[in-house]
């Protein structure tokens, strides 16, 4: 934790694990009630990154960065740039054990500013030789996860004619919806932002409210908005046999995984299904440099990883969450 000399704002970097490679995780620029809350967030998120990268078999550890903003004091452009340079300097001091990327509150363009203070930055624009916007790859990975899940739930991976509800049509959700429409799925979609409705109609999707989409009688539910949507109240109301989406931390608590299994709902662990963005970034570390075709091929591996997790869970009589954690831990031990 370091106080930025230009802005006086606190920069936090949490390095949870470097066992498989440099710790990688985005830089969150966010307002917190106090610094302890920001530290807790960085620690929790960095641990999540360790498991996400380990289960995907990437040569990366888990880390996370936070720039702590003061409540009610948004940054003007000049101070924002100064805060990013302060953060970049903090990253540089860690000598490569942490590599930053974009996250909530930061963008590809912000990474270009951070890169002026450190070389340990990923997710730069394609023009700057980086892997660019991760969302298309996250969406592609979610599509592979949906196919693997449909295959397990219905004995065929084909999405043609399947009814699928997508909740949240943001950077990832809208792209997932487009890929699903192209694959012939029948879509129900929802977002709290009514401006997304036109786009939904262009896809031939049926527009509804988020609350209704969550409990729609569909073949697959695809949460692509906020976390915590699956809990002891919402799961008993689900009318779908399968859930696979991009949203981070979908389970309000880990025992919700048991409830899903008891109710016969197949759940794709979020940190497996939404790893496409980090799989894409990891291609930047290849000795031959970033290549979009290699990234696309590697993202397809998410489907295979999930098939293995479903097999392991079936064999061990456990949940996909437990099987995914066991796979991540075994990959960490091996390293
Ligand atoms: P985004 O902010 O672009 O999109 C989120 C969308 O959800 C917005 O359109 C918003 O209006 C909508 N939304 C918010 N609350 C909602 C609600 N209660 N009901 C319905 N819609 C709601 O974010 P994104 O980049 O598309 O990410 C979506 C999710 O996927 C997040 O949980 C994110 O952490 C996760 N994720 C994203 C990436 C990535 O590459 N962008 C990678 C991994 C995980």
- pLDDT below 70 — which residues of the chain? none
pLDDT per residue over 230-244, tens digit each? 999 999 999 999 999
Domain limits, the chain: 2-46+62-114, 135-275+305-331
* Ligand 1 close to Cβ of residue 277 (< 6 A): yes
3-state secondary structure of 184: coil
pTM to 2 decimal places: 0.94
Nearest CA to ligand 1 atom 23: 170
CATH fold match for the domains 2-46+62-114 and 135-275+305-331: yes
**Predicted local distance difference test score (pLDDT) of residue 310:** 98
Q: Check: CB of residue 68 under 8 Å from CB of residue 29.
A: no
- Please give the CATH architecture assigned to the domain spanning 135-275+305-331: 3-Layer(aba) Sandwich (3.40)
- List, in sequence order, the alpha helices (H) in the chain: 35-55, 77-93, 108-114, 135-154, 173-182, 197-202, 210-214, 256-262, 270-273, 276-282, 292-299, 301-316, 320-334
Q: What is the pLDDT of residues 202-218, one digit of tens each?
A: 999 999 999 999 999 99
pLDDT digits (tens, 9 = 90+) for 97-152: 999 999 989 998 999 999 999 999 999 988 888 999 899 999 999 999 999 999 99
Domain 2-46+62-114 has CATH 3.30.420.40: no
Active-site residue among 64, 116, 182, 212? 64
Protein residue with its CA nearest to atom 40 in ligand 1: 135
Ligand 1 lined by 228 (C-beta under 6 Å)? no
Please give the distance, rounded to the nearest whole angstrom, from the Cα atom of residue 221 to the centre of ligand 1. Answer: 15
What is the three-class DSSP state of 38?
helix
């Amino acid at each position: 934790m370091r106080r930025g000399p230009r802005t006086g704002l606190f920069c936090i970097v949490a390095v949870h694990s470097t066992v498989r490679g440099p710790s990688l995780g985005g830089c969150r620029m966010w307002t917190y009630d106090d610094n302890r809350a920001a530290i807790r967030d960085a620690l929790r998120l960095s641990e999540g990154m360790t498991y996400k990268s380990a289960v995907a078999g990437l040569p990366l550890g888990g880390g996370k960065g936070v720039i702590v903003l003061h409540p009610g004091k948004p940054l003007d452009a000049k101070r924002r740039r100064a805060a990013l340079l302060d953060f970049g300097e903090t990253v540089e001091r860690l000598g490569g054990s942490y590599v930053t990327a974009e996250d909530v509150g930061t963008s590809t363009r912000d990474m270009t500013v951070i890169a002026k203070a450190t070389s340990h930055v990923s997710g730069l624009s394609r023009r700057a030789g980086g892997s660019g916007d991760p969302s298309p790859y996250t969406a592609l990975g979610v599509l592979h996860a949906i196919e693997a899940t449909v295959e397990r739930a219905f004995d065929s991976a084909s999405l043609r004619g399947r009814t699928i509800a997508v909740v949240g049509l943001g950077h990832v959700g809208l792209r997932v919806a487009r890929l699903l429409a192209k694959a012939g799925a029948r879509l129900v979609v929802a977002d709290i932002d009514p401006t997304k409705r036109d786009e939904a109609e262009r896809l031939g999707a049926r527009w509804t409210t988020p609350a209704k989409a969550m409990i729609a009688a569909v073949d697959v539910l695809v949460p692509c908005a906020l976390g915590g949507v699956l809990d002891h109240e919402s799961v008993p109301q689900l009318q779908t046999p399968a859930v696979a989406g991009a949203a981070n931390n979908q389970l309000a608590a880990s025992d919700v995984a048991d409830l899903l299994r008891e109710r016969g709902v197949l759940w794709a662990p979020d940190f497996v299904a939404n790893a496409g963005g980090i799989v894409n970034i990891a291609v930047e570390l290849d000795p031959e440099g970033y290549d979009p075709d290699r990234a696309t091929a590697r993202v397809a591996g998410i489907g295979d990883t999930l098939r293995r997790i479903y097999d392991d869970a079936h064999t061990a009589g456990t949940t996909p969450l437990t099987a995914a954690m066991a796979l991540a831990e075994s990959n960490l031990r091996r390293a």
